[in-house]
Amino acid sequence: MALWFGSDSDHPEREQCRAVFAQYSSVVAMLSEDLIDSNGQAKLRQAASLL
């Protein structure tokens, strides 16, 4: 829980997480609706386009 607090400069792993998400978010967004609903898919697509 402590990792959520503090600035990004205090937590360099956040940038690594963003980079991995940016790389794979479009793949995750294509998951079967059995695994993620259409609302979740839309959110992932939106986030992928913002990164």
pLDDT of 43 strictly over 60: yes
How distant, in Å, are the alpha carbons of 16, 31, 40 from that of 35? 25, 6, 10
> CB-side exposure of 48: number of CA atoms within 13 Å?
16
Which tokens sit at 30? 């294509």
The token duo for 10 is 């205090």
pLDDT at 34 over 60: yes
Residue 1 is predicted with a pLDDT of 47
For the segment 26-50, the average pLDDT, to the nearest whole number, is 74
Q: What are 11-33's pLDDT values in tens digits?
A: 788 888 888 888 887 777 677 66
Percent of residues, the chain, with pLDDT higher than 70 = 78
